[in-house]
Amino acid sequence: MAKAAADTAAQLRDPDYMPPLARAVPLGIQHVLAMFVSNVTPAIIVCGAAGIGFGSDQAALGFPDMTYMIQMVMLFAGIATLLQSVGFGAVGARLPIVQGTSFAFVPVMIPAVAGLGTAGLSGLMTGIVIGGLFHFCLGFVIGRIRHALPPLVTGLIVLMIGLALVKVGIQYAAGGVPLMGKPEFGSLAMWTPALVVVVVTLLVKFFTRGFLAVAAVLIGILAGYVVALAMGQVNFTPIERAGWFAVPVPFKWGFEFNFAIILGMCFMAVISAIETVGDVSGITKGGAGREATDREVSGATFADGAGSALAGVFGGLPNTSFSQNVGLVAMTGMMSRHVVTVGALFLILCGLLPKVGAAINTVPINVLGGGVIVMFGMVCAAGVNMLSEVRWNRRNMVIFATALSVSLGLQLEPSALQHVGQTAQILLTSGLLPAAAIAITLNLVLPEDLGD
């Protein structure tokens, strides 16, 4: 969106500048559009893995638990964003940082709830709360652990996150995991709306500018939705059954300690904290032309953890900073944190209205699949981009090869661990923990010179 003439260069670089509402509102909503699909998709994936989403026996009831979780991820993304933009004491960077549920957590959450229905959500939510509190504590030490996570390690982890998800994207585009084994799975009728999403997303992204380009994935999904509607694949039952207003319910699915989930969430908190440090630096460099202060970095990490813990209490998913919105700040040239606050209030409003979550539920799984194929591929591409900063000598190639081979192998063949305990299976078959453990350990112990 073009900058208005009334905004001086100093105002645009000032996080405390409040532009007129006529510009603040559309800019804030633009931030929401840039992250909306990425924010709600993890909830749909988790519910599908648990068996309370698309294709489940709750279809006749309009996916009530799935609708609730979608509400919570919107509501607490808004609350976590307020913690960042407005701040509360030491909590919050007071920068235009948008929060939401990252795909990074999905490979850890899927095995934690797979096939367990709502019974699996009690352990997951407890893990999210404890992981969020651990994430909060990282704010005190984040500056001292960054050296252990160079681009070789973080790039590999991000790449593994993407590789863990691409299979899910294809399954969704072909008709969804619950439909496997049925004739319609993989049919042309399933693939047609998904391919429309992919094609429209790419066309809008590369042949438009400004607002449209930022919302390319959302526009692609809307196009696929229209095609699916014409093909009779849209069910409006969830909207009809949903109420108009609802409040969050604390510990809706109970409270249960599961060591594997807790450990997995604490591990992902470290990865998320490092990602947030990068996003804070990107915001200040791209928007204000300066380095991030220690207070901004620690405040952002505190907000990440507090937002995740709050979300877990009420049945939401863990929150982290959204990198796509960092690029949006640079593109619009508007550094105002109050613009992001407007977007946060919009998210909170959506989270309190079940009709909004139910409307999202009407999006067919294959339409969503078309969108996530692009998004999951971008996660892989982001990992490759981070790895491009690595000096590829023999030492780093050995570290990368060993970590990738073991972690990807366990991800592709989880039955190789069928004789170990359930805790180890959940942690190791995601691929993320072994990749990080091997890469970090080898990076710390191997000598810099391996005879290159």
Phi, psi for 103 (deg, rounded to 5): -65, -20
Q: Which of 124, 67, 84 is nearest to 352 (CA)?
A: 67
Give the dihedral of Cα atoms 222, 224, 226, 231; nearest 10 deg: -160
Domain edges within the chain:
15-176+235-365, 391-452
Residue 63 in tokens = 């996916």
Residue 296 CA to its chain's centroid (Å):
22
Q: Give the helix ranges, DSSP H, for 362-431.
A: 365-387, 394-412, 422-428
- Which residues share a beta bridge with 33? none
Report which DSSP code applies to 101: -
pTM: 0.74
Q: What is the pLDDT of residue 268?
A: 85
Q: Are 94 and 299 in contact (CB under 8 A)?
A: yes
Taking only the tens of pLDDT, the chain with its 452 residues reads 444 445 666 666 777 778 778 777 877 777 776 677 778 888 888 888 887 765 554 444 456 677 888 889 989 999 999 999 998 888 988 888 889 887 778 878 888 887 677 777 888 999 999 999 999 999 998 877 767 778 888 788 778 877 877 887 888 888 766 544 566 777 888 899 999 999 998 898 888 876 677 667 778 888 999 999 998 888 777 777 767 877 888 988 888 888 888 988 998 888 888 778 777 877 777 666 777 788 888 999 999 999 999 999 999 999 988 876 666 676 566 778 888 899 899 889 888 887 876 777 677 888 878 887 877 777 787 778 778 888 899 999 999 999 999 988 988 888 888 888 766 776 777 777 788 889 888 988 888 776 65
Q: Provide CB contacts within 8 A for 131, sequence distance 6+.
A: 262, 264, 265, 266, 268, 269, 308, 312, 318
- Which residues share a beta bridge with 91? 88
Around 177, how many Cα atoms within 13 Å sit in the side-chain half-sphere? Answer: 19
Q: Which of 178, 102, 167, 186 is nearest to 412 (CA)?
A: 167
Q: Which of 407, 357, 58, 123 is nearest to 253 (CA)?
A: 123
Q: Are 131 and 265 in contact (CB under 8 A)?
A: yes
Place of tokens 């998210």: 347
How far is residue 303's CA from residue 128's CA, in Å, rounded to a whole number? 14
Q: Which of 406, 382, 271 is nearest to 324 (CA)?
A: 382
Q: Which residues of 9-18 are buried (b: 16+ CB within 10 A; e: fewer)?
A: eebbbbbebe
How far is residue 359's CA from residue 366's CA, in Å, rounded to a whole number? 16
Q: Are 417 and 410 in contact (CB under 8 A)?
A: yes
Q: What is the pLDDT of residue 105?
A: 85
Q: What is the pLDDT of residue 452?
A: 59
Place of tokens 């799935």: 66
